[in-house]
A and B are shown apart, each in its own frame.
Chain A
Amino acid sequence: AQSVTQLDSHVSVSEGTPVLLRCNYSSSYSPSLFWYVQHPNKGLQLLLKYTSAATLVKGINGFEAEFKKSETSFHLTKPSAHMSDAAEYFCVVSDRGGGFKTIFGAGTRLFVKA
């Protein structure tokens, strides 16, 4: 069965510094992996997705993530944080085991200090 672990419940960075949000997954098949962002009182918005093409995936708002099969990781990065990046981020895995059920990580709240 697939699973996903977000290694940090909270991350705090200063504006203009790099962002790293960590995600490890478990999957018996070739997984699809996603990162979503949720701003307060809003639904989730897709940042990027990996579906067995290029291992380095570029998303919206300057975010990117690298699929590393050997480390079963899919960490989200951004070179320079902006105040508007403060939000909750969810890593998501889906594979054909169990009928493509989608598993959400517990989320990482990103704080950005001025």
Chain B
Amino acid sequence: GAGVSQSPSNKVTEKGKDVELRCDPISGHTALYWYRQSLGQGLEFLIYFQGNSAPDKSGLPSDRFSAERTGGSVSTLTIQRTQQEDSAVYLCASSFLRGDQPQHFGDGTRLSIL
């Protein structure tokens, strides 16, 4: 079946521009996660959505970062006024529930800020 789909796979933009990254989770998965992975680093949690509950935004690094999840399915991560330190791979994952259910990952969006 279809896995987690992320688009675009690569994005190059100039410093100061806004970017939108998209995530299509696996159908039926109620939990959706965004992570950031800098070169050669582990995963940094950004934000978590679970059903209709308020999202856990505790990992967002600044107010330039925001995310939404429409209709409990597709999610968009928006970075405003991008900075060079925002360059990273942004990974999306989904699962049935938080906790003991494994997360299924997309291949990520590689973001490069010039």
Interface size class for chain B?
20 to 34
Q: How many residues of A contact B (CB 8 A)?
A: 23
Structural contact, B102 and A90, CB atoms closer than 8 A: no
Structural contact, B105 and A96, CB atoms closer than 8 A: no
Contact of B100 among A44, A46, A94 (CB under 8 A): A94
| Chain B hits for A90, CB < 8 A | 42-43
Q: Using a Cβ cutoff of 8 Å, how many contacts connect chains A and B?
A: 58
Contact of B91 among A34, A43, A96, A101 (CB under 8 A): A43
| Chain A hits for B113, CB < 8 A | none
In the complex, B25 has a CB within 8 A of chain A: no
Contact of B98 among A36, A45, A100 (CB under 8 A): A100
Which chain A residues have a beta carbon within 8 Å of chain B's beta carbons? 32, 34, 36, 41-46, 49, 51, 90, 94-96, 99-102, 104-107
